[in-house]
Amino acid sequence: MRYITLVALPLLAMSASPVLAKGCIRGAAAGGVGGHFVGKGHAVMGAAVGCAVAHHHYAKQAKAEKARARTRG
């Protein structure tokens, strides 16, 4: 029963909202490589953090671009 919950909950969360993952793949690749060189077992953690950081960067960049476009016209 616990296994079903662990699988169903993330799938439900992903289907509930659209995922805007711009930059996630690039950040995950860079974080995974960096984590691999840091030490054993850190590649997955590095990929997760890299994905989050890159997504935050691109979201902030898109927000700034939207503000610039709004002020221009």
pLDDT tens, position by position, 41-68: 888 898 889 888 988 888 898 899 999 9
Q: Specify if 1 maps to a domain.
A: no
pLDDT of residue 51: 87
Does residue 32 fall inside a structural domain? Answer: yes
Mean pLDDT estimate for the chain: 79
pTM: 0.64
- Residue 12 is assigned to a structural domain of this protein: no
Tell me the backbone φ, ψ of residue 3, rounded to 5 degrees.
-65, -40
Residue 28: inside a domain? yes
**Residue-number span of the structural domain to which 23 is assigned:** 18-72
How many structural domains are present in the chain?
A: 1
Token look-up 């898109």 returns 62
Position 4 in a domain: no
CA 32 remoteness from chain centre: 13
Tell me how far apart the alpha carbons of residues 59 and 23 are, in angstroms, rounded to a whole number.
9
pLDDT in tens, 2-15: 666 666 666 655 55
For residue 37, tell me if it sits in a domain: yes
For residue 9, is it within any domain? no
Four-point Cα dihedral 41, 20, 8, 27, nearest 10: 0
